[in-house]
Amino acid sequence: MSMEDWKRLQEWGRTLGVVALLTDIDGTLAPIVATPDAVEISGELRGLLRHLSGGCRVVAGISGRAAVDAFRLVGLEEIVYYGNHGFEVLRGGEVEVVPEAAPYEEKVEELEKRAKEELGPLGAFVEEKGITLSVHYRNVSTEIGERCKEFVEREGERLGLRVTVGRGVAEVRPPIQADKGTAVRKIVEEYEPEKALFIGDDTTDLDAFRELEKLREEGTLKETLRIGVKSDEGPPEIVSEADVVVDGVEGVEEVLRVLVGES
């Protein structure tokens, strides 16, 4: 992070009351590991998020995980959780699902069943998330990984579902407009911050980056900040479209420390 980036973040830290702090979770607040149930967030990062939740207009975790799972991982009641790439929100202990997604639930379940039968024996981890599905192939060979991607893409197309491929994972979801970008827009419209920043590391986070830019161009937000978490496996656009680039979870922690005035 350059001195210019540091000064910019420091300025944002002085105006937290009008800031929406929005962040991905896996690969951003916690390192990517072989299976999602092994992910852990450090106590230091959790403490920084708690501190920021008391000063910001809103702090929200926007994740590919189910909203309840995202809450269990982060463990903070003070923040809002948008799960399943924007298909659901957890607030005050209640989960709301986008109504338009309901008709696709059986098709997601069908693909889940077939993926467990076909890909499970090969070593892939099929994560059940309700209205969406993730097939993780990080812990298998490159050849098997390609086979997993091809299977999910083929079956997703057959069932009329949307498939995106990220860092060692193929994501399946209903083909309706709900993603991290729509989640960002909903949060901004509800909490009405003047500024908003998003931190992310993977392909699905680009939707959030691009929606922030639209909100700024529309005049809904006065300022935006897109923070890209650089990694060997992340898409190059995370770096090219970001306003600030940091290295890994350690870089994210540094960003949060600057915002709270500890760095």
C-beta separation of 52 from 259 below 8 A: yes
Set 24, 26, 69, 202: catalytic member:
24
DSSP symbols for 4-37:
HHHHHHHHHHTTGGGEEEEE--BTTTB---SSGG
Please report, to the nearest 10 degrees, the dihedral formed by the alpha carbons of residues 137, 138, 143, 147 taken in order: 20
E strand or H helix that includes residue 199: strand 195-200
In angstroms, the CA 184 to CA 196 distance is 9
Specify whether 24 is catalytic: yes
CA distances to 96, 101, 156, 205 from 211, rounded to whole Å, are 22, 21, 25, 10
C-beta separation of 168 from 136 below 8 A: yes
Q: Which residues of 118-136 are buried (b: 16+ CB within 10 A; e: fewer)?
A: bbeeeebbbbebbbbbbbb
C-beta separation of 13 from 51 below 8 A: no
* Residues recognised as catalytic: 24
